[in-house]
Homo-oligomer: A and B are copies of this chain.
Amino acid sequence: MRPTRRSDRADVRRPEVGRIAEIRSAADTPTRDRLLEAAMDVFAAKGYHAAAVDDIVAASQTSKGAFYHYFSSKQAIFVTLMDALGALLEDGIEAAIAEERGALAKVEAALGVVLETAEARRDLARILLIEAVGLGPELEAKRLGIHRRFAGVIRRHLERAVEEGSIPPQDTLLAAQAWVGALNELITRWLAEGRGRLGARLPALRGFLLRSIGAAGRGATRARRSRGAAAPRVRRNAGVRR
């Protein structure tokens, strides 16, 4: 009944925020990009409900009309943002994983990327881990989908590790979910407490998690990871245009 809007393409151009956006011509759809950036800032700063569409419009220097031209609703821009941020994280993980050989090393690398990304992009972490929670069935489903995808990556490599004989046979689904939960909790607390380096907890966490899957002491990737820490995969507060 209402004319279709050309936005809300949940699939399309997934990472409008993040790396790929850095590469693509930044002038592609500048208004839409500005809105997404502003939305990220505002949602991270005030939370979903306290963020008014007017706030986003003001922060983006565009207009209400532009907002609703590109996004059919406040929820729609939030979903788009979740997708973009989730994709940004996943891309980082995939890249880190690709650099490693062994299944365990891959899984450790993923772990490191998550902490690095959270530390470099508090806004991303806050939006995905805190502000996206409890927003109703639709957004909850989206959020769980992201968790599920991330846990899926971990699980896949845990399965390989079992095949490789690096770790004993086990319930890798549960292990992957538990890892995700552990990361979630650590990052959430770090966000709330607002001090200290999140990366500082990586070694202890790595030990804990490797132990949990029966791989204690076998972590052969330590050297590599510390390199990673020195040259983080996601620049601080980078990745969204600029």
Contacts and interface: CB of A to CB of B under 8 A. Distances in A.
A35 to B, nearest CB: 15
A3 B51 CA distance: 12
Number of copies of this chain that the complex holds: 4
Contacts of A133: 130, 133-134
Interface in A178-229: 178-186, 188-189, 192, 201, 204-205, 207-209, 211-214, 216
Contacts of A185: 147, 177-178, 180-182, 184
A212 B167 CA distance: 13
B205 A174 contact: yes
Nearest to A179: B182
A175 B182 CA distance: 9
Interface stretch (A24-32, A91-99, A136-144): A136-144
9 contacts: A50-B136, A132-B134, A133-B134, A144-B188, A147-B185, A170-B208, A182-B182, A208-B213, A211-B213
Contact of A212 (B181, B201, B212): B212
Tell me if A's interface is mostly helix, strand, loop or mixed.
helix
A68 to B, nearest CB: 12
A47 interface: yes
B204 A174 contact: yes
Interface of A: 2-3, 47-50, 54-55, 57-58, 130-136, 140-141, 144, 147, 170-171, 174-175, 177-186, 188-189, 192, 201, 204-205, 207-209, 211-214, 216
A209 B212 contact: yes
A22 B147 CA distance: 39
